Amino acid sequence: MNILLIEDDKRISDFVIKGLEENGFSVTLAVTGEIAREMVSENEWDIILMDIMLPGIDGIQLTKLIRFKKNHTPILVLSALDDADNKVAALDSGADDYLVKPFHFKELISRINALTRRTKFNYKEKEQVYFCHNLTVNLDEHSVFQNDQAIDLSPREYKLLLFLLENKNKVVSRTQILNAVWGIHYDNNTNVVDVYISYLRNKIDENQHKFIHTIKGTGYMLKE
């Protein structure tokens, strides 16, 4: 597995590289966001491990740039910033998971394996185009169209829509959505699912057709 580590603190990068290589991973280091941007453009990676506080382009900006380029490589943020606002900012910019420093190395390995399995399942083994009524979602292009008009979705809105499409005409609970879209380590007491369902409804629902239905006491369903 080829890993890109983006970290400007040599003490931390030496520790992470040593541990990953001892576990059979191949690791390449980028010490600035600018260097990482070029390496992401020129090479394919199985996963990106990224600090937020980087010289030049910070981790949030870099994540947005990577996702803007339709690059689906899983991104695991490794950061000493442990408050909720930083976690939400990283995840909403397109990161897949967030691990606070200092961390147990076994947990890092577990999260790497989980993210790479999930990404392979989501993007390599499933159909590449979804259709639902007048919606078309193209996984290769990372695009959403409704009546041939492009719909602008944030990375988290797109991931939520994709999960609902994968479970079309099935009831999914808030916990299932939270685990699939935000990750199993996200706070189960948050109302973020309801907030993003509302965002998505505002962008895709029509007067004549409602896509997302609330199933009282259970969760949500996207209907054909």
In this predicted model, what pLDDT tens digit does every residue of 160-191 receive, in sequence order? 999 999 898 899 999 899 888 887 666 667 78
pLDDT at 32: 93
Domain ranges for the chain, please list them.
Answer: 2-124, 129-222
pLDDT of 125: 46
Query: What is the predicted pLDDT for the residue at 121?
Result: 54
Structural domain 129-222, CATH architecture: Orthogonal Bundle (1.10)
**pLDDT of the residue at 70:** 82
DSSP helix/strand/coil, 137: strand
Residue spans of the chain under pLDDT 50 = 124-125
What is the CB neighbour count within 10 angstroms for residue 42?
Answer: 7
What Cα–Cα distance (Å) separates residue 171 from each residue in 120, 132, 135, 177, 195? 24, 16, 19, 10, 18
Half-sphere exposure (CA, 13 Å, Cβ side) for 192?
23
Candidates 138, 164, 140, 163; CA nearest to 151 is 138
Q: Which CATH class is domain 2-124?
A: alpha beta
Question: In the structure encoding, which two tokens stand for residue 20, read together?
Answer: 């990953």
Angle at CA 68, nearest 5°, toward 133 and 95? 95
